Amino acid sequence: MKRIRQVCIMVGAFAMCALLACGRDAGGPVPKQGVVFVCEHGGAKSVVAAALFNARASARKLPFKAESRGVVPDPRLAPAAVAGLRADGLSPDREVPLRVGRADVDGAKVVVAIDPLPPDLAKGARVETWDAIPPISVDYAASRDAMLPRIDALLDELARAHVGGPDLN
């Protein structure tokens, strides 16, 4: 009986590890058709921007995918970002914020810096800076509404280039 309990514990632990691994992005680079949104902590503005971008790209049947990253990631997503996205019928692109790295920047078609990007990461990348995005924790709707026209303009630009225009990189 003791042996059975040990095996059950081991199988349960293995299953839990597998579930956790499947639910988390390993932090691989953003694909070349991708956009990476970067904010300071990777748990609010970039998460909301990526979710909005992905929803709008999908609705337009565009092949682009966005991911969120942070310069100094928080241990968890901001509750206001998660609640706001859920109220909009969306969900975050990840469970835990990830640190932006060189592979993310090099792999992305466009990097959108909602907060300042470290200069060493900005070198050689196409970086678009979005200033004056209100804090999610203060007013989710104002933040979302400030992002939407920029997201639509970025999708328009990416779509034009994808259809046969010049490469954006």
Q: Is the pLDDT of residue 126 over 60?
A: yes
What is the second-level CATH architecture of the domain 28-162?
3-Layer(aba) Sandwich (3.40)
Beta-carbon contacts of 21 under 8 Å, excluding residues fewer than 6 positions away, are: none
Summarize the confidence of residues 147-167 as an average pLDDT. 84
On whether the CB atoms of residues 54 and 66 are closer than 8 A, the answer is yes
The pLDDT mean for the chain works out to: 83
Summarize the confidence of residues 44-54 as an average pLDDT. 98
Indicate the Cα dihedral angle 90, 93, 98, 103, nearest 10°.
Answer: -140
Q: Is the pLDDT of residue 32 over 60?
A: no
